[in-house]
């Protein structure tokens, strides 16, 4: 499953239900260095602030917190054409996939 991100609205936040819990994602873009970050909130409480979105690396993967979603959320390009998360690739060919850690795990 892809987490829908509306790049033209960034910075913005949206709610999504994962594993029966409603999370708020807040997406930001750093134009100076061409990268995106995500803040994760639950019930208006910040769980993670400023997590950089890195291609092929599960979001929040280096963190241990029971409030985090257990399924990995990984930026991937199923076509294999891109291996970076940039303004040009994010939401065009690179998407945030739930429960996929490699391009081979993506079921479109």
| Ordered per-residue pLDDT tens for the chain, 108 residues | 999 999 999 999 999 999 999 999 999 999 999 999 999 999 999 999 999 999 999 999 888 889 999 999 999 999 999 999 999 999 999 999 998 766 666 655
- CA 6 distance to own-chain centroid: 12
pTM for the whole structure? 0.90
Residues of the domain holding 86: 2-105
State how many domains the chain has: 1
C-alpha span between 43 and 47 (Å, rounded): 10
Buried b (16+ CB within 10 A) or exposed e, 53-71: bebebbbbeeeeeeebbee
């Amino acid at each position: 499953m892809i987490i829908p991100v509306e790049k033209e609205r960034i910075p913005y936040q949206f709610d999504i239900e994962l594993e029966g819990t409603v999370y708020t994602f807040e997406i930001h873009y750093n134009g100076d260095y061409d990268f995106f970050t995500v803040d994760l909130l639950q019930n208006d409480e910040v769980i993670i602030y400023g997590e950089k979105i890195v291609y092929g690396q599960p979001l929040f993967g280096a963190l241990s917190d029971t409030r985090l979603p257990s399924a990995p959320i990984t930026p991937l390009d199923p076509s294999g054409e891109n291996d970076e998360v940039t303004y040009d690739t994010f939401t065009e060919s690179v998407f945030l996939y739930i429960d996929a850690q490699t391009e081979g795990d993506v079921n479109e």
